[in-house]
């Protein structure tokens, strides 16, 4: 494996991240484990700044345009070798727990990663580890009390990463949205549902604020990096509110409002699990203590920035 990198970033996707140059200068080579929605966005930003990037998938990109592809599929025994990863200084893990609730990266690659002796390992986790707070705010100091099985698995994976002795930073995320993943798409394809549950809010973060915050934290001196960080915008709100803005931006009708109590039995288990927890995730540490300035402080700026995809 040579020092190849992912697809060039389209000009429209270039974001002015203030910490990009400093972060890029700090990274010899970046390994992004999991080339999904967020992993790919991070990889593209750093590749555009000249950083050699390796991005893993279980399958090659069908378009064949993914020169940085690194095959990582532990279930099939496809693991990168030590020489594939030579020179990697920074690692971002975006892969969730496997079906058994264990961490697929640690299970298959822990010793290899340790031999690389990376400077930084970012682990994308979820604010689901805080469980249900009845809508109260949580921050990095709040107790973790996951109720859902997948969030319990996530907490166990976080703890396993901590025990690994690698320089891990846990990055806890609420719902991720951005171009290609937002409620305007569900309105357009007719799958949006306007559901009201009194008092229920959801927190969210724009994918480019994940990228920006990661760059910001990589650019900090290691001793200034908190070991756990919530990446979220400032405006948890009911999903009906963001759907209302989506309809406004698209100039289309909202679906009929439905009461959660009426529709809950018809929701799938995953959707029901999302509605079963209510909390507000605070990114005060990121913004006030670390000085990161959100690109999209609320869903209003974030969703508006995606509306160009539709016109």
Ligand X SMILES: NC(=O)c1ccc[n+]([C@@H]2O[C@H](COP(=O)([O-])OP(=O)(O)OC[C@H]3O[C@@H](n4cnc5c(N)ncnc54)[C@H](OP(=O)(O)O)[C@@H]3O)[C@@H](O)[C@H]2O)c1
Q: Residue numbers of the site for ligand X (CB under 6 A)?
A: 34-39, 57-59, 72-74, 94-96, 98, 104, 124, 126, 173, 175-176
The tokens for 292 are 């990161």
Q: How many CB atoms lie within 10 A of CB 68?
A: 24
- Least distance (Å) from ligand X to the CB of residue 159? 15
Nearer to ligand X (CB atom), residue 252 or residue 267: 267
Nearer to ligand X (CB atom), residue 36 or residue 179: 36
Nearer to ligand X (CB atom), residue 38 or residue 298: 38
- Least distance (Å) from ligand X to the CB of residue 33? 7
- Least distance (Å) from ligand X to the CB of residue 277? 12
Residue nearest to ligand X (CB): 36
Nearer to ligand X (CB atom), residue 151 or residue 298: 151
- Least distance (Å) from ligand X to the CB of residue 23? 19
Nearer to ligand X (CB atom), residue 177 or residue 292: 177
Distance CA 252, CA 254 (A): 7
- Least distance (Å) from ligand X to the CB of residue 75? 6
Nearer to ligand X (CB atom), residue 57 or residue 216: 57
- Least distance (Å) from ligand X to the CB of residue 294? 17
Nearer to ligand X (CB atom), residue 106 or residue 219: 106
Contact 67, 127 (CB under 8 A): no
- Least distance (Å) from ligand X to the CB of residue 264? 21
- Least distance (Å) from ligand X to the CB of residue 176? 4
Q: What is the 3-state secondary structure (H, E, C) of the chain?
A: CCCCCCCCCCHHHCCCCCCHHHHHHHCCCEEEECCCHHHHHHHHHHHHCCCCEEEEECCCCCCCCCCCEEECEHHHCECCCCCCCCCCCEEEECCCCCCCCCCHHHHHHHHHHHHHCCCEEEEEEEHHHHCCCCCCEECCCCCCCCCCHHHHHHHHHHHHHHHCCCCEEEEEECEEEECCECHHHHHHCCCCCEEECCCCCECEEEHHHHHHHHHHHHHCCHHHCCCEEECCCCCCECHHHHHHHHHHHHCCCCCCEEEHHHHHHHCCHHHHHHHCCCCEECCHHHHHHCCCCCCCCCHHHHHHHHHHHHC
Nearer to ligand X (CB atom), residue 175 or residue 250: 175
For residue 208, give every residue at least 6 positions away whose Cβ sits within 8 Å of its Cβ, in sequence order, or none.
Answer: 15, 17, 41, 178, 295, 296
């Amino acid at each position: 494996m040579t020092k190849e990198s992912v697809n060039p970033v389209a000009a429209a996707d270039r974001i002015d991240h203030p910490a990009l140059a400093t972060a890029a200068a700090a990274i010899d080579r970046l390994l992004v484990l999991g080339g999904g929605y967020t992993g790919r966005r991070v990889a593209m930003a750093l590749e555009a700044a000249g950083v050699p990037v390796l991005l893993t998938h279980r399958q090659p990109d069908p378009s064949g345009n993914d020169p940085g592809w690194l095959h990582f599929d532990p279930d099939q025994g496809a693991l990168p070798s030590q020489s594939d990863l030579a020179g990697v200084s920074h690692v971002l893990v975006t892969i969730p727990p496997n079906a058994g609730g264990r961490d697929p990266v640690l299970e298959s690659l822990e010793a290899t990663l340790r031999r690389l002796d990376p400077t930084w390992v970012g682990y994308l986790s979820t604010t689901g580890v805080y469980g249900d707070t009845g809508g109260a705010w949580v921050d990095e100091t709040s107790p973790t009390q996951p109720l859902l099985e997948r969030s319990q698995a996530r907490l166990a994976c976080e703890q396993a990463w901590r025990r690994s002795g690698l320089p891990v930073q846990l990055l806890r995320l609420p719902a991720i949205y951005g171009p290609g993943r937002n409620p305007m798409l569900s309105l357009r394809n007719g799958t949006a549902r306007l559901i009201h549950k009194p008092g229920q809010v959801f927190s969210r973060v724009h994918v480019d604020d994940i990228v920006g915050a990661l760059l910001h934290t990589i650019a900090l001196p290691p001793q200034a990096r908190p070991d756990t960080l919530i990446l979220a915008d400032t405006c948890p709100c009911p999903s009906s509110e963001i759907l209302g803005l989506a309809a406004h931006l698209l100039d289309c009708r909202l679906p009929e409002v439905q009461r959660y109590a009426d529709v809950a039995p018809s929701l799938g288990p995953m959707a029901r699990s999302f509605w079963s927890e209510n909390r507000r995730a605070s990114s005060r540490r990121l913004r006030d203590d670390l000085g990161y300035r959100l690109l999209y402080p609320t869903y209003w700026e974030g969703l508006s920035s995606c509306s160009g995809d539709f016109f």
